[in-house]
Amino acid sequence: MNGAFLPPLLADALAWTEVPDPVILFALTLVFAGLAGEFVFRWLRLPRITGYALVGILMGTSGLAEDNPLDSSAQRIVTDIALGILLFELGNRVRLGWLWANPWLLATSLAEAGLTALAVQAGLVWLGVPPQAAVAAGLIAMSTSPAVVMQVTAEIRSQGQVTERLYVLTALNAIYAVLAMQFLSGWWALDTPQESTRALLTTLYLISGSVLMAALLAWAVHRLTRALDLSEEPGAAILFGLLLLVFAMLHLFGLPAVLAPLLAGILLKNADPRPRLWPRHFGTAGGVLVLLLFVLGGASLRWQDFFAGGLTALGVVLVRLAAKLIGVALFARPSGLGLRQCLALGVALSPFSAVALALALDFRVSHPDLGAHLAPILLTAMAVMELVGPIATQWSLRLAGEERR
Amino acid sequence: MTVTPEAVPALGDFAQSRPLTLGVELELQIVNTHDYDLAPCAGDLLRVLKQQGVEGDIKPEITASMIEIATGICTGHGQVLAELGGLRDALQAAARKLNVGLCGGGTHAYQHWSERRIFDTPRFHQISELYGYLAKQFTVFGQHVHIGCPGPDEALVLLHGLSRYIPHFIALSASSPFVQGHDTGFQSARLNSVFAFPLSGRAPFVLTWEEFSAFFAKMARTRVVTSMKDFYWDIRPKPEYGTIEVRVMDTPLSIERAAMLAAYIQCVARYLMIEKPFRPAEDDYLVYTFNRFQACRFGLEGTFVDPKSGEHRTLRDDILATLAALENHAMELKAEQACREVRQMAETGENDATWLRRVFDGCGQQPEMVRQQCLRWG
């Protein structure tokens, strides 16, 4: 056990127990993550999740994360519910009628995502990454982290045009990224004729399956909200159960985890225009799960991860930011956005994690050799953005004057 | 808000205006389409309107979730309705582009005053600094109607004559039963927040411009006020326009009702100017606050005490009696349709506050009620 990275208190606690007890460790993780979140929020006015992630990274780097009492299935339960909640909440902020009333917003979405994909891909090819891997990286880089966006906007209770558009663009670019990666796998399979039909069918299956699961979840939540108050324990418990069930089924049918809860939120919002309100993250229990999501996200990183991708990864981060800024700026005026808001929106779109991580891991499984090229670059980019992304989003929303305090 | 003694401001002359012309100002709510709380998007709306080259009087108000539309100088009901319709449609198009909703109503049912953002102009910040939370609490939405007057003395006579009818205007426009998430029991709770301002109430009882100027000079010398804008009276003279401005109405839930109210006020003004049915007197104001309270609290069902005879009747009955006296004037001003609408309201006893309560009882949720307010607006 390498204790050099430990905060002194934690070290004392460990010395006292001699053999680190996983439960005590987990308890201390909760305490320190909470303290760190509150500290950075109150004194540094930074997002709480930056504090959570820092504690996570500290744990991961010190090797303490390996003594985590949450085994992989428990971890999966926590992250699935938390991510499901956040994606569902995000979907529930997307009113499709807005895209119809303001087509320039749809143009903005296509521009920022498309430019990001192209720019990252071109940059990586130029740096000598194999073209196929570069294409995949570009598509993965389109997605903004829904988890960070939801958490940061909820925390400062931001409201206004930048916030509203941030929700829509984030939801859409997550959908683009997931779908594009599915199509890409199908497309590559076309080289072998006997595989092509199966690949296309698989893609079709993944999409229609996700939509079906989304419809089921949306319908169930709709019935639930009519019968129960989701801010009370029974309502929240049923909702978490439903989310877990959906994830279990997605897993069983080999469907992507991101699409279904997001689409379910969108379906629910648009099927019935009546406002449907619940406390953020469906109450305190959901909030704790979200905290764990970010701690565990941090704990999966080692300090080496910050350097593995080298300058290439830093390049990806910068090119991605520039592409998103330009993409938003192209149609800012016709879509009704001011200059300052346009800058803020571009920067606010920069967080890069959850969805991208899931996609990158899938890619590494399905294409091991190409994945090996990408993994260090994407992982480093994500590690850097894990810390910088939430701060960027928070500051830009503040700059746009959308913080509500 | 103080000035140095050597710069005591003057009231200025009363401008020329065509008698009985009218102008209408409406303060509107901007809400988001997620939880239908107020949304600070006035700046965004104004920017989009400017880009689209929309003509017309659309202004920011003190907090960023209010926007004000105003007609030009109109001759009557039809023109007011047409101009308000044009402004509403232009604003509605911009609002759709920004995914925000617009609606009428004197208060937002559950907005929290501490979250309001002051619209970024020096005057609004100055007011906010002076009045503190009152300025944000003042996120209430009213309709103002200007009536053109032949001269300053006539304006003051009309002002004090119209005071008798203030309860009518309150009851017909009332649309603010909910404040800070609760049913207040009032039909117009908005006026309660106007009352909190030190310079609210009524104009002093003087019937000549000379006396009025003397009053203003005395007030200005105390340095309590610097312009007519600092008075939050129910009716106040607006010398720059040559009008008097009736300010007690809640913003109704539709432009049709706003135009109806303006036309009704115009008819009453014509009746007072031409028939001179009674002489305004200081003693008329003995029952003023009682009548006003009754109208705010109970709307059309409220008690009205006749200032001349001391007789008690319901406001509905007093409005119906007034409508009978207005018939010729309504015809002259082409306001028959508007007067028919007023009659219908007086007969059924239902105003916008009744409608809001009914919608809330139906759905049980204030956000859903605000959504329906938006649908009713446009």
pLDDT tens track for B76-87: 999 999 999 999
Nearest CB among B99, B115, B371 relative to A274 is that of B371
Beta strands B303-305; B312-314: pairing state: antiparallel
Sort residue B274 into left (φ over 0), alpha (ψ -120 to 50) or beta. Answer: alpha
| Residue B104, number of CB atoms within 10 A of its CB | 27
Q: Which residues of A298-307 are buried (b: 16+ CB within 10 A; e: fewer)?
A: bbbbbeebbe
The per-residue DSSP string of B11-53 comes to --PPPP--TT-EEEEEEEEEEESSS--B---HHHHHHHHHHTT
In this structure, of A38-52, B11-25, B103-117, B291-305, the range with the lowest mean pLDDT score is: B103-117
Q: What is the CATH number of domain B26-377?
A: 3.30.590.20
Nearest CA in chain A to B43: A338
Question: Rounded to 5 degrees, what angle do the CA atoms A142, A319, A185 make?
Answer: 35
β-sheet bridge partners, residue B305:
B312
What mean pLDDT is predicted for residues A307-330?
90
- Average pLDDT of chain B, as a whole number: 91
Stated pTM of the model: 0.89
Structure confidence at residue B283 (pLDDT)? 94
- Are A160 and B40 in contact (CB < 8 Å)? yes
- Are A161 and B97 in contact (CB < 8 Å)? no
In this structure, of A35-39, A87-91, A237-241, B15-19, the range with the lowest mean pLDDT score is: A237-241
Structure confidence at residue B4 (pLDDT)? 45
pLDDT at A147 over 50: yes
Copy the structure tokens of residue A175.
């959908």
- Are A274 and B96 in contact (CB < 8 Å)? no
pLDDT at A193 over 70: no
Question: Rounded to 5 degrees, what angle do the CA atoms B112, B115, B117 make?
Answer: 130
Q: CA-to-CA distance for A117 and A123, rounded, in angstroms? A: 10
User: Which pLDDT tens digit goes with each residue over A78-136?
Assistant: 888 888 889 999 999 999 999 999 999 999 999 999 999 999 999 999 988 888 889 99
Alpha carbon separation from B291 to B189, B214, B310, B311 (Å, rounded): 15, 29, 12, 12
Element (H, E) at B102: strand B100-103
Q: Kindly list the residues from chain A whose CB atom is less than 8 angstroms away from the CB atom of residue B367.
A: 275, 277
Q: Which is more confident, A251 or A140? A: A140
Q: Write down all domains in chain A, each with its CATH number in brackets.
A: 71-271+306-399 (1.20.1530.20)
Cβ proximity of B74 and B23 under 8 Å: yes
Q: Kindly list the residues from chain A whose CB atom is less than 8 angstroms away from the CB atom of residue B373.
A: none
User: Which pLDDT tens digit goes with each residue over A246-300?
Assistant: 888 888 888 888 899 999 999 999 998 888 777 777 777 778 888 888 888 888 7
Q: Å from B367 to nearest chain A CA?
A: 6
Structure confidence at residue A15 (pLDDT)? 57
Among B171, B85, B191, B104, smallest CA distance to B345 is for: B171
In this structure, of A149-163, B111-125, B172-186, the range with the lowest mean pLDDT score is: B111-125
pLDDT at A309 over 80: no
What pLDDT band is residue A30 in, cutting at 50, 70 and 90? confident
Cβ proximity of A394 and A46 under 8 Å: yes
What pLDDT band is residue A392 in, cutting at 50, 70 and 90? very high
What pLDDT band is residue B332 in, cutting at 50, 70 and 90? very high
Structure confidence at residue A70 (pLDDT)? 62
- Reported ipTM: the value is 0.86
Structure confidence at residue A1 (pLDDT)? 42
Most confident of A2-6, A188-192, B140-144: B140-144
Alpha carbon separation from A141 to A119, A296, A370, B122, B154 (Å, rounded): 10, 22, 16, 44, 72
